[in-house]
Amino acid sequence: MSRKAKAIFYALIAAVFYAVNVPLSKLLMNNIAPTFMAALLYLGAGLGMALTALLKSRSELGKSPLDRRDMPFVIDMIVLDIAAPVFLMTGINIGTSSNASLLGNFEIVATALIAVLVFKESVSRRLWLALALITLAGVILSFDFNDPDSLKFSYGSLFVLLAASCWGLENNCTRMIASKNTFEIVILKGIFSGAGSLVIALSLGERVPALRYIVSAMLLGFIAYGLSIFFYVKAQNVIGASQTSAYYAASPFIGSLLSFVILNEELSSTYIIALFIMSSGALLTVIDTLILSHNHEHTHVITYTYRGIKHTHTITHSHLHSHYSDETRHNHIHKGRHIIKTGANIKL
Strand partners, 281: none
Angle formed at CA 168 by CA 167 and CA 170, multiple of 5 degrees: 60
Lowest-pLDDT range of 3-7, 8-12, 15-19, 96-100: 96-100
Lowest-pLDDT range of 150-154, 219-223, 271-275, 312-316: 312-316
Lowest-pLDDT range of 90-104, 235-249, 271-285: 235-249
Burial state string for 313-324 with b = 16 or more CB within 10 A and e = fewer than 16: eeeeeeebebbb
Taking alpha carbons only, the member of 153, 159, 130, 126 closest to residue 141 is 153
Please tell me which of 147-151, 155-159, 239-243, 323-327 the model is most confident about, judged by mean pLDDT: 155-159
Could you tell me if residue 334 is left (phi over 0), alpha (psi between -120 and 50 degrees) or otherwise beta? Answer: beta
pLDDT band at 344 (very low <50, low <70, confident <90, very high): very low
Domain ranges of the chain: 3-292, 295-347
pLDDT band at 295 (very low <50, low <70, confident <90, very high): very low
Q: What is the mean pLDDT of residues 73-99?
A: 87
Q: What is the pLDDT of residues 298-324, one digit of tens each?
A: 455 555 555 555 555 544 444 433 333
Q: What is the pLDDT of residues 240-279, one digit of tens each?
A: 666 677 677 778 788 888 888 888 877 777 778 888 888 8
Q: What is the mean pLDDT of residues 141-151?
A: 59
Q: What is the pLDDT of residues 23-54, one digit of tens each?
A: 899 899 999 999 999 999 999 999 998 998 88
Q: What is the pLDDT of residues 48-83, one digit of tens each?
A: 989 988 877 665 555 677 888 888 888 988 999 889
pLDDT at 140 over 70: yes
pLDDT band at 153 (very low <50, low <70, confident <90, very high): low
Report the half-sphere exposure of 170 (CA within 13 A, side-chain side): 23
| Cα dihedral across residues 50, 51, 53, 54: positive or negative | positive
Round to whole Å and give the CA distance between 181 and 253.
Answer: 30
Q: What is the pLDDT of residues 184-212, one digit of tens each?
A: 888 888 899 999 999 999 998 999 999 99
pLDDT at position 158, please? 86
Contact between residue 47 and residue 218 where contact means Cβ atoms under 8 Å apart: yes
pLDDT at position 130, please? 80
pLDDT at 19 over 80: yes
pLDDT at position 24, please? 92
Contact between residue 249 and residue 282 where contact means Cβ atoms under 8 Å apart: yes
pLDDT at 152 over 80: no
pLDDT at position 315, please? 47
Strand partners, 334: 315
Round to whole Å and give the CA distance between 348 and 330.
Answer: 22
Give rounded-to-5 percent helix, strand, coil for the chain.
Answer: 70, 15, 20
